[in-house]
């Protein structure tokens, strides 16, 4: 993006001059600083779209600079240059709000693409309201009613255009794939493939060939060469659900891919390179799995550079009315029904229920209710719900009736 302003921070003059030459050749305005303290002083005086910084510098290192940038509420997209040995620092930087990081030996094209995306991120940082920034259609607005989900959308906007892996955590049924698709939708990969693979839905001995593909004759039944999910997702996003289910061998192979960005098909010798952004999800505590020795720490660090926690539905009940209405409209069309409203009694039941299965349970419950409802019925009533929920309404109604009688007796007693 020609005209965008970049501040480059590195204590090595040769690196500063090389970067400056490349970026100015692309039309960027570039200023340089020799250490973090000088960079901070410049940032306080001038506005920049992107800050590119090394980790190890005198006076103030890269992480300290990032913290000061955030403390001073300076709006700038921060990109780190890191060696593989600094990967833990890179992960920490992402958690502190850095836009992305580039591992040394990156190409000029990788640098320019990252800068381009960082400039877009800067524009996101300047807008305060995440809903306005999203320009959401109704389907997406249904999850942006509570503060917790608005915060999720806010973070999604900040991370969407990064190429760094994302780890989405949350209970089963919270909509982790839904949020992964939103990240993909608002990234520069929109329009490219979004490929999903559940790590627990495929037998262990078949998972490698499903992920990496296989060559003809690699095993019994491999009658032709087949591309795996990684190749299918090239230029786009690969979503690995329930990554906690990967066995140690596959954890090792996935880590190698994340490190080298290349792999071989099962039974193949040719090395294949792909450009894929990985989003992983888990309903289990991966940190605990690492401590217990069930999950590789280095893989966890790679995946957890950017993390997104999706709260259970019981913790964001403000979302329930819009979610419920959306599912009613969805299944009206699918089953050719005419349910226009949800009764107050049903909504009260929904708001009181714990939703152990989260949004998936709500969705399934409404689908069953709408599919079985009579054609001339336009209101969803307690009687249309499963018996265990409908009985809650009966119990509550009886309790309310009893309380009403007791109140009237008490009123008469006090009057007498």
Sign of CA dihedral 337, 340, 346, 347: positive
Low-confidence winner among 54-63, 129-138, 165-174, 370-379 (lowest mean pLDDT): 129-138
Q: Model confidence at 56, in pLDDT bands (50, 70, 90)? A: confident
CA 46 – CA 35 distance, rounded (Å): 17
Nearest residue to 26 via CA among 51, 42, 41, 4? 4
pLDDT above 70 (res 18) = yes
The predicted pLDDT at position 57 comes to 86
Domain with CATH 3.40.50.300 in the chain: 160-311
The predicted pLDDT at position 125 comes to 66
The predicted pLDDT at position 120 comes to 82
pLDDT above 80 (res 403) = no
Of residues 391 and 24, more confidence is placed in: 24
Strand partners, 226: 214
Architecture of domain 314-415: Orthogonal Bundle (1.10)
Q: Model confidence at 393, in pLDDT bands (50, 70, 90)? A: low
Nearest 5°: the CA angle 394, 397, 403 is: 140
Rg value, the chain, Cα:
26
Of residues 413 and 4, more confidence is placed in: 4
The predicted pLDDT at position 5 comes to 94
Q: Model confidence at 211, in pLDDT bands (50, 70, 90)? A: very high
**5-126 is classed CATH 3.40.50.2300:** yes
| Average of per-residue pLDDT across 153-165 | 88
The predicted pLDDT at position 85 comes to 58
Nearest residue to 277 via CA among 340, 408, 184, 199? 184
Q: Model confidence at 394, in pLDDT bands (50, 70, 90)? A: low
What is the pairing mode between strands 262-263 and 272-273? Answer: antiparallel
pLDDT above 50 (res 277) = yes
pLDDT above 60 (res 401) = no
Instruction: Write phi, then psi, for 79 (nearest 5 degrees).
Output: -120, 130
Domain with CATH 3.40.50.2300 in the chain: 5-126
Sign of CA dihedral 309, 312, 316, 322: positive
Domain with CATH 1.10.8.60 in the chain: 314-415
For the chain, give the percent of residues with pLDDT over 70.
88
Classified by CATH at the fold level, domain 160-311 comes out as: Rossmann fold (3.40.50)
CA 42 – CA 35 distance, rounded (Å): 11
Is residue 80 within 8 Å of residue 90, measured between CB atoms? yes
pLDDT above 90 (res 195) = yes
The predicted pLDDT at position 65 comes to 94
Write out pLDDT tens, residues 219-267: 888 889 999 999 999 999 999 999 999 999 999 999 999 999 999 999 9
The predicted pLDDT at position 84 comes to 59
Strand order in the sheet with 29-33: 29-33, 5-9, 50-54, 77-82, 100-103
Query: Angle formed by the axes of helices 320-335 and 344-352, to 10°?
Result: 120
Is residue 167 within 8 Å of residue 306, measured between CB atoms? yes
CA 339 – CA 329 distance, rounded (Å): 8
Interacting residues of 354 by C-beta distance below 8 A, sequence separation 6+: 314
CA 187 – CA 357 distance, rounded (Å): 29
CA 263 – CA 212 distance, rounded (Å): 7
């Amino acid at each position: 993006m020609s005209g965008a302003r970049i501040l480059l921070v590195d204590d090595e003059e040769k690196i500063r001059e090389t970067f400056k030459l490349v970026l100015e050749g692309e039309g960027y305005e570039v200023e340089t600083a020799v250490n973090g303290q000088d960079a901070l002083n410049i940032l306080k005086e001038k506005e920049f779209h992107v800050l590119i910084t090394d980790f190890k510098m005198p006076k103030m290192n890269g992480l300290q600079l990032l913290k000061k940038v955030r403390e001073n509420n300076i709006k700038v997209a921060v990109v780190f240059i890191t060696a593989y040995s600094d990967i833990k620092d890179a992960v920490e930087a992402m958690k502190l709000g850095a836009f992305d990081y580039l591992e040394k030996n990156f190409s000029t094209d990788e640098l320019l693409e990252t800068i381009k995306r960082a400039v877009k991120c800067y524009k996101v940082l300047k807008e305060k309201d995440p809903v306005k920034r999203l320009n959401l259609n109704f389907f997406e607005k249904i999850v942006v009613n509570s503060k917790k989900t608005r915060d999720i959308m806010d973070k999604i906007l900040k991370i969407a255009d990064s190429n760094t892996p994302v780890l989405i955590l949350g209970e089963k049924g919270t909509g982790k794939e839904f949020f992964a698709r939103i990240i993909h939708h608002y990234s520069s990969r929109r329009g490219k493939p979004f490929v999903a693979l559940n790590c627990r839905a495929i037998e262990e001995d078949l998972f490698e060939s499903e992920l990496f593909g296989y060559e003809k004759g690699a095993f019994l039944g491999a009658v032709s060469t087949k591309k795996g999910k990684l190749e299918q997702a090239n230029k786009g996003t690969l979503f690995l659900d329930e990554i906690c289910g990967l066995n140690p061998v596959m954890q090792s192979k996935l880590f190698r891919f994340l490190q080298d960005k290349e792999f071989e098909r099962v039974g193949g010798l040719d090395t294949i390179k792909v450009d894929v952004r990985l989003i992983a999800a888990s309903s289990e505590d991966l940190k605990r799995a690492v401590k217990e020795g069930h999950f590789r720490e280095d893989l966890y660090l790679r995946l957890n550079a950017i993390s997104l926690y999706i709260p259970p539905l019981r913790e964001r009940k403000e979302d329930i009315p819009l979610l419920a209405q959306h599912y009613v409209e969805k299944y009206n069309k699918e089953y050719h029904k005419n349910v226009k409203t949800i009764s107050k009694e049903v909504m009260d039941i929904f708001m009181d229920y714990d939703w152990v299965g989260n949004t998936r349970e709500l969705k399934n419950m409404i689908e069953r209710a709408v599919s079985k409802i009579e054609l001339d019925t336009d209101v969803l009533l307690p009687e249309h719900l499963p018996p265990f929920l409908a009985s809650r309404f009966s119990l509550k109604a009886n309790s309310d009736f009893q309380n009403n009688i007791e109140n009237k007796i008490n009123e008469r007693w006090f009057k007498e």
